[in-house]
Amino acid sequence: MKPGVAVIGGGPAGIGAALSAARAGLAVTLFDEQPGAGGQVYRPLPAPFAADSGPDAEVGRRLRAELAASSVDARFARKVWFVGPAADGYEVRAVGPEGAETLTAPRLIAATGTTERIVPFPGWTTPGVMGLAATTIMLKAQHLLPGANVVVAGVGPLLAAVAVGILKQGGRVAAVVDLAGVGEWAAAMPAMAARGDLLARGIGWVAQIKRAGVPMLARHAVVAVDGGDRVTAVHVAPVDASGRPSGPSRTIAADSLAIGHGLIPATEIPRILGAAVEYDAARGGWITRADAYGATTVPGLYVAGDGAGIAGAAAALEGGRLAGLAAARDAGVLPADRFAAESAPLLAASRRAARFGGAMARMMAIRPGLVAAIAHDTVVCRCEDVTRGEIDEAIGAGARDVNQLKSWTRCGMGPCQARICGDVVGELIAPAVGGRLAAGISTARPPLRPLPYHALAGTFAYDELNLPAPAPS
């Protein structure tokens, strides 16, 4: 029997890893939550929709075809809720359409992508406020405009992509509100030129937005949303380079807001398995320590794609291929000379793509002034409704890291398991404890995803599950 590898995540990194590992002779099992491969950037339209066109749709289609033609055992609509060490490698537990499944593999590649950072502001919990990534999913995978009049705000390449996606369908964009200044974009140009194709696409997007007469507010932030149960207006103000509001606000009428302040690598699986992590704001924050091929500090465990440090979808595909080759080499099915020959061009391509992605990641790094400006009574932890004031109080009372803060305030203890607020909370406590390293990162533990109880009934003892305690009512 062929030695195996489990790949978690079916985005570009996971697909690249699965394909190269399978070609090199490993038995590959790939798990993904979605009904088809592609991840967030190349996410397919669900089959009942008529097929789509466009460059990302093309890349996605090609990758899915390659995957379908390969020997990869690709399992979609699977929620991986548990990973752990096993005697002969790693155990992966998932639930899917056919119920619970367990797989043991000697090697594991985590290609779990990112979550989007949204730095809280008054009204950010209003229904109709959604992430830029969420809006991208709406546009690409559901053919839906977020509203009739949308403010698009935040930072990074998704800003223009989302605005253009709305305009192309005849939607109205009330304004594009960019944390970054014109100078920041100019400074990023040389690195972005490493991928001239992507740079040209971005410039084309900006031209389309300008042609449509949409106001583009550079170095501005959303400072409040009015509405209550729906969005009625968005308040924006100029900010300084750190994101701190630095002038009077103005009001823009809108019925929805698409907003995102950068991407945060998902590191839960490597952390659960004991891999070393490090903090690098310019690559998204906490990332898994890995070599150029994605090998972590834990034998047999690899990371690839944005989950290993933000570098973008193009770099993710090459990075995934490298991780797949490394797993095959370490399993003994890919001789060293073939590994060297096959990895060299991939390494060069991934470095080129990562130069572009790295410039975007630096621009999307958390802006301390924006975090510092969060108002006292603004909810930071959506799950448990914990405010900035309550967090400050706990810090004042001596909470020394995010996990202590969690047990004192319940901040980050809810069902999202701190995936939405954790990064911002780390930034809030950092100044009091000497920085982000000291502030730490919320402890990762299974279940990786909250699961409906019925999905697992009968497959395990209830107290195996370390569910977050229910909220007091």
Partner 1 sequence: MGTALVETLRGAVRFAGSRRGAPVTIRVDGVAIAAHDGETVATALLAAGLRAVRTSAIRREPRGPLCLMGTCQDCAVEIDGATDLACQRFVRDGMVIALVDGAGA
Judged by CB under 8 A, the stretch of 127-135, 155-163, 205-213, 396-404 that binds partner 1 is 127-135
When asked if residue 389 is in the footprint of partner 1 (CB under 8 A), the reply is no
Instruction: Draw the binding track, 316-345, toward partner 1 (x: CB under 8 A; -: no contact).
Output: ------------------------------
> Which residue's CB is nearer to partner 1, number 165 or number 238?
165
Closest approach, Cβ 37 to partner 1, in A, equals 15
- The nearest distance, CB 141 to partner 1, in angstroms, is 9
- Determine, following the binding rule CB under 8 A, whether residue 458 of this chain makes contact with partner 1: no
- Answer for which of 1, 48, 336, 469 binds partner 1 (CB under 8 A) is 48
CB of 196 to partner 1, least distance (A): 30
Q: Which is nearer to partner 1, 139 or 325 (CB)?
A: 139
Minimum distance from residue 157 beta carbon to partner 1 (Å): 18
Q: Give DSSP secondary structure letters for 150-206.
A: EEEEESSHHHHHHHHHHHHTT--EEEEEESS-HHHHHHHHHHHGGGHHHHHHHHHHH
The residue within the footprint of partner 1, chosen from 41, 420, 441, 444 (CB under 8 A), is 420
Which of 49, 435 has the CB closer to partner 1?
49
First to last CA, the chain: 54
Q: Which of 142, 251, 407, 459 binds partner 1 (CB under 8 A)?
A: 142
Residue 35 Cα distances to 20, 31, 123, 249, 401, angstroms? 22, 10, 33, 43, 38
Residues recorded for the chain = 473
Our finding on whether 262 is near partner 1 (CB under 8 A) is no
Is the bond preceding residue 215 a cis peptide, omega within 30 degrees?
Answer: no
Taking CB atoms within 8 Å and a gap of at least 24, the contacts of 362-365 are 362/188, 362/282, 363/155, 363/156, 363/180, 363/184, 363/185, 363/188, 364/117, 364/155, 364/156, 364/261, 364/262, 364/263, 364/284, 364/310, 365/262, 365/281, 365/282, 365/284
> Side-chain half-sphere of 462: how many Cα atoms within 13 Å?
4
Q: How far is the CB of 452 from partner 1 (least distance, A)?
A: 5
Q: How many residues bind partner 1 (CB under 8 A)?
A: 55
Binding residue for partner 1, selected from 289, 338, 362, 419, defined by CB under 8 A: 419
Question: Can residue 284 be called a binding residue for partner 1 (CB under 8 A)?
Answer: no
The DSSP secondary structure of 228-250, one letter per residue, reads SSS--EEEEEEB-TTS-B-S--E
Binding mask 351-380 for partner 1 (x = CB under 8 A): ----------------------------x-
Burial of 184 (C-beta count, 10 Å sphere; 0-12/13-18/19+): middle
Residues 12-41 that bind partner 1 (CB under 8 A): 33, 35, 40
- Other beta carbons within 10 angstroms of residue 168's beta carbon come to 12
Q: Which is nearer to partner 1, 70 or 115 (CB)?
A: 115
473 DSSP 8-state letter = -
- Please answer whether residues 322 and 12 qualify as being in contact, where contact means their C-beta atoms are separated by less than 8 angstroms: no
In the shown chain, the binding pattern of residues 216 to 235 toward partner 1, with x for contact by CB under 8 A and - for none, equals: ------------xxx-----
- In angstroms, the Cα distances linking 201 to 21, 198, 206, 429 are 32, 5, 9, 39
How far is 87 from 426, CA to CA, in rounded Å? 35
H or E stretch at 225: strand 220-226
Give the residue carrying structure tokens 């929709």: 49
Pick one of 94, 109, 134, 395: the residue that binds partner 1 (CB under 8 A): 134
Q: Is 411 in the site for partner 1 (CB under 8 A)?
A: no
Q: How far is the CB of 320 from partner 1 (least distance, A)?
A: 19
Q: In this structure, how many other beta carbons lie within 10 angstroms of the beta carbon of residue 66?
A: 15
- The two tokens of residue 2 are 């062929």
Which of 5/316 has CB closer to partner 1?
316
Identity of residue 239: V
| 84-123: contacts with partner 1 (CB under 8 A) | 115-116, 118
* Cβ-based nearer residue to partner 1, 248 or 473: 473
DSSP 279-319: EEGGGTEEEE-B-TT-BBSSTTEEE-GGGGS---HHHHHHH
Among 147, 243, 309, 357, binds partner 1 (CB under 8 A): 147
Among 94, 130, 188, 428, binds partner 1 (CB under 8 A): 130
Q: Of the two residues 35 and 369, which places its CB atom closer to partner 1 in the complex?
A: 35
Stretch that binds partner 1, among 14-22, 213-221, 339-347, 450-458 (CB under 8 A): 450-458
Residues in contact with partner 1 by CB under 8 A are 33, 35, 40, 45-50, 115-116, 118, 125-131, 133-134, 137-138, 142-148, 169-171, 228-230, 255-256, 379, 382-385, 414-416, 419-420, 449-450, 452-454, 471, 473
